[in-house]
Amino acid sequence: MAEQTLFSEADTSVEERLAAEALIVDVDGFEGPLDLLLTLSRTQKVDLRKISVLELAKQYLAFVEKAKELRIELAADYLVMAAWLAFLKSRLLLPPDPEEEGPSGEELAAHLAFQLERLQAMRDAAARLMGRDRLGRDFFGRGEEESVARIKTVTYTANLLDLMQAYARIRTKEDFRPFVMDRDSVFTMEEALDRMRHLLGFTGDWTDLISYLPDGWHSDPVKRRSATAATFAASLQLVKEGKAELRQSETFAPIQLRSLDEDT
């Protein structure tokens, strides 16, 4: 039924069909679903205040259907609007459920009509504004500014855009510098390995891995994380080399390490 209003060939003139096709092909030309709805509403040829939102919902849904058939990709907001209009349509068609919360179909329809009317009003206002007599086209300012050279003062100037762009430039500089590791809070695996090879000899017993963290790397979370990771990686290396063994009693329990090197 909705198809008929837009796409049936029986009761539409060639012109109207061309217009309908143009609508479809030119979907990119619409500035969003509201713009499309406004264009569709013109086929009703009535005052926007008296528009049938139900009819409009049907036309919109038919449009989206047709677009799907023609495999035209519709942007997400068109589909969101379609889903919402389908919901509105069902609200308007079904008898109101007294149990149901929220605004009635009529309220929703009235708001949509309001949005369409407001958008149309702003477009009309924009057209009237641009149609006014305008400076530099219809009326003119002083062509020749007078300069009476008496006091010559230099005024430095800048506009708001300069200011905001300058600020943005400073504050985003950091984002675009080449990636450099911040060496201050990074403990490398090489450093950890050095340290552990040295310490391992003194610990024949099972010792908590955390006790191998260097002094001053415990409290700052960033440093602690780096040192823990490096020490753990170094301990794996030592195990691989057959110089130590690792154990952990259960998940998340402390990891313990002991030397396997009998000679030291």
Partner 1 sequence: MEDQIMDAASSSGRTENDTLFDAPPMAEQERMVEAVLFASAEPVTLRDLEGRMPPGCNPREALEHLRKRYEGRGVRVVRLGDAWAIRTAPDLGFLMQKETTELRKLSRAAIETLAIVAYHQPVTRAEIEEIRGVSVSRGTIDQLMEMDWIRLGRRRMTPGRPVTFVVTPDFLDHFGLESARDLPGLKELRAAGLLENRPPPGSLPLGQGGDEDDEAEEQAELFEE
Distance, in Å, from the CA atom of 52 to the CA atom of 33, rounded to the nearest integer, reads: 17
245 and 209 Cβ atoms separated by less than 8 Å: no
Distance, in Å, from the CA atom of 109 to the CA atom of 92, rounded to the nearest integer, reads: 8
Contact segment (CB under 8 A) with partner 1 among 6-14, 111-119, 211-219, 227-235 equals 111-119
Smallest distance from partner 1 to CB 235, Å? 30
Candidate residues 47, 174, 182, 262; the one interacting with partner 1 per rule CB under 8 A: 174
The residue type found at 7 is F
Nearer to partner 1, 146 or 215 (CB): 146
139 and 133 Cβ atoms separated by less than 8 Å: yes
Contact segment (CB under 8 A) with partner 1 among 2-10, 50-58, 125-133, 192-200 equals 125-133
Smallest distance from partner 1 to CB 74, Å? 14
Smallest distance from partner 1 to CB 176, Å? 6
Nearer to partner 1, 45 or 128 (CB): 128
Site for partner 1 in 5-44 (CB under 8 A): 31-35
Nearer to partner 1, 45 or 150 (CB): 150
Q: What is the largest CA-CA distance in the chain?
A: 101
134 to 173: interface string for partner 1, x by CB under 8 A: xxxxxxxxxxxxxxxxxxxxxxxxxxxxxxxxxxxxxxxx
Distance, in Å, from the CA atom of 213 to the CA atom of 183, rounded to the nearest integer, reads: 17
Q: How many CB atoms are located within 10 Å of the residue 237 CB? A: 17
Q: Which two tokens stand for residue 151?
A: 């006091």
Candidate residues 11, 15, 73, 175; the one interacting with partner 1 per rule CB under 8 A: 175
Verify binding: residue 100, partner 1, rule CB under 8 A.
no
Smallest distance from partner 1 to CB 180, Å? 14
All residues at 6 or more sequence positions from 213 whose CB lies less than 8 Å from its CB, including other chains = 224, 227, 228, 231
Distance, in Å, from the CA atom of 94 to the CA atom of 90, rounded to the nearest integer, reads: 6
Is the CA virtual torsion 173, 178, 183, 186 positive or negative? positive
Site for partner 1 in 188-247 (CB under 8 A): none
Smallest distance from partner 1 to CB 100, Å? 11
Candidate residues 115, 211, 248, 264; the one interacting with partner 1 per rule CB under 8 A: 115
Site for partner 1 in 62-81 (CB under 8 A): 77, 80-81
96 and 109 Cβ atoms separated by less than 8 Å: no
Nearer to partner 1, 138 or 250 (CB): 138
The residue type found at 47 is D
Nearer to partner 1, 147 or 251 (CB): 147
